[in-house]
Structure 1
Amino acid sequence: MDNTYITQNAEILAKIATIGSFVVAVSALIFSYLQSRFRKHEIKRAYYCEVLEWYSKTISILSNLNYCLKNSHAKFAEKRDQLLPMLSTQIEIGRFYFPNKKRLISQNGC
């Protein structure tokens, strides 16, 4: 065998390996990008599910409390006294989902 033949084959194999490495690197980059987008969507969906669960529980408490306040029987007063702390807890939990944002006050005070 000729040394030039071996050298040419080695160069071809090196070029093929380089192209293969490039393809693998680009594939990994694309996969990583898609995974990060999927993860972002997953986190956003989990947040919305938590907010929806909080909202459902809060509305249920408010509805029950409204019913108890409309009725003046003693049994409803006891139930009302149980619901008020639950509502307070839900309000505090809601502050984590919807924090108060300070407004910037302009120089004229408006």
Structure 2
Amino acid sequence: MTASDTLGLVSILISICVFIYTYVTNTKKYELTYQYRCEVLKWFDDTIHVLMRLKQECKLGFSNQDLRNELLASLSAKIEMGRFYFPNVDKGDKFGKEKPFAYRNYRNLMLDFLVYAYNIYNRADAVRYLKHADLLQKEFTSLLFETFNPTAFLKETKKVTDRTFVKELSFEDFLNEKPEALKDYI
């Protein structure tokens, strides 16, 4: 075996090692990203459930004050937990520097939507502000949607797993294709 043969063999081995390392690293990165997304989405799911329950109870006039207090306490806990996913924003002006570490700087917009919803549902006349609370909930969902960019994530998932998880169809597409499917419901 000549020196150039040995060099070629070493180059191939190095290339294989680099390929394996890159594959393993990208897979691990994907797994960590996926795990983080799952944690945040679980937090979001729990938080949305609290917001929806508060909205329904508000429409019913908060007849059960104990339930109202429990739901407000749950929302407050979700806000506190959210600080780990959406830390405060440092604008470099030392705002809140006298506060405990987790509360310094400016509250993340994601959490501000929840704090304002809490303030609405904590009011005696909360029912007057249901449209405001609904808008805050929609902005909360939209901001997380924008942050997580599900369309890009699904494309990346397809690249990594070779699986498609959604059909890109709207309800109108469905109706155009199979209008008889809903004849019994209309």
TM-score (norm. length: structure 1): 0.70
Query: Are 2:5 and 1:35 aligned?
Result: no
Quick one: percent identity of the two aligned structures? Answer: 30
Greater RCO structure (CA 8 Å; 6+ sep): 1
RMSD after superposition: 2.0
Query: Are 2:56 and 1:100 aligned?
Result: no
- Which amino acid in the other structure matches residue 53 of structure 1? K
1:30-109 aligned within 5 A: 30-72=19-61, 74=63, 76-105=64-93
User: 1:52-75: CA deviations, max 9, x gaps?
Assistant: 11111101101101222232364x
How many pairs were matched up?
93
User: 1:36-62: CA deviations, max 9, x gaps?
Assistant: 122112211211121111111101101
* Residue of 14, 24, 30 corresponding to 1:25: 14
Structure 2: give runs of 5+ residues left out of the alignment.
94-186
- Which amino acid in the other structure matches residue 72 of structure 2? L
Please identify which structure carries the higher helix content.
Answer: 1
For 1:73 and 1:22, the matched residues in 2 are separated by: 72
- Which amino acid in the other structure matches residue 25 of structure 1? I
78-87 or 88-97, larger mean C-alpha shift: 78-87
- Which amino acid in the other structure matches residue 67 of structure 1? Q
Structure 1: give runs of 5+ residues left out of the alignment.
1-11, 106-110
For 1:14 and 1:71, the matched residues in 2 are separated by: 84
> What is the Cα deviation at residue 21 of structure 1?
3.1
Structure 1 moving runs of 4+ over 3 Å: 13-19
TM-score (norm. length: structure 2): 0.44
> What is the Cα deviation at residue 22 of structure 1?
2.9
Distance 1:24 1:73, change over 3 A: closer
Residue of structure 2 equivalent to 1:6: none
SS in 2 for 1:78: helix
> What is the Cα deviation at residue 82 of structure 1?
1.4
